[in-house]
Amino acid sequence: MDPSKYPNEPPANWNTSEKSDVTQPAPPPYQQGYPYAGYPPPGSYPNPSGYPAMQYGAPGGQPIPQAQYGQGPYPGQPPITIQPTVSINPTPLARPLPDYLGYSIFTLLCCCFPIGVAALIYSIFTQNANVSGHQEIAEKNSRMARILNHTSLGIGLAFFVLCIIYILITTIHFKEQTSP
């Protein structure tokens, strides 16, 4: 390898005026006199709403001064206008479904903790759906929160009853062994 040449240098017999074998179609020629190539001129679309066309930009068709921002549009180009952001606020349900939040907190703390956590999550989802106005989602989450709360309460009551029975049996058995 010759140290005076770079490894990525083209070979000596390379012809730079020759194009590669890959050919691409030439772009379409520009049309003089029609600045909106491929698009109809602005204002040529019919207004489908029946309302008068809105004019954007400065009132009275005056150009917007751009000097205060340090840069302006290119020469011959119209100023750029930005449309306002539209936000749609959902309306809450007129008759919100029950979210069973208090019931969920009770079952979380006093009955079965894991099922109470799931019931609490579905209760919060129900609240969010009620506020967002999603009736079907609120119904589904409310029903699931109620089912989980009933299940947690049933497990908690069954455990409580089993604990009382165990204490009674243990107490009776202890008294029988300590009595002479």
What single string gives the DSSP state of each residue in 43-58?
T-S--TTSSPPPPPSS
Predicted confidence at residue 16, as pLDDT, reads 62
Instruction: Give the contacts of 109 (CB within 8 A, at least 6 positions apart).
Output: 116
Instruction: Give the contacts of 7 (CB within 8 A, at least 6 positions apart).
Output: 1
Give the tens place of pLDDT for each residue, 21-42. 556 677 766 656 555 556 666 6
Predicted confidence at residue 20, as pLDDT, reads 58
Mean per-residue pLDDT, 41-50: 62
Question: SS3 for 21?
Answer: coil
Mean per-residue pLDDT, 106-110: 95
Helices (H), ranges, the chain: 101-110, 113-132, 135-178
Q: Above 70 in pLDDT, residue 74?
A: no
Instruction: Give the percent of the chain with pLDDT over 90.
Output: 43
Q: Where are the domains of the chain?
A: 101-125+141-177
State the burial class of residue 96 (Cβ atoms within 10 Å of its Cβ: 0-12, 13-18, 19+).
Answer: middle
User: What string of DSSP letters covers 59-80?
Assistant: GGGPPPP-GGGT--PPTTPPPP
pTM value is 0.51
- d(CA 146, CA 126) in angstroms, rounded, equals 11
Q: What is the DSSP letter of 91?
A: P
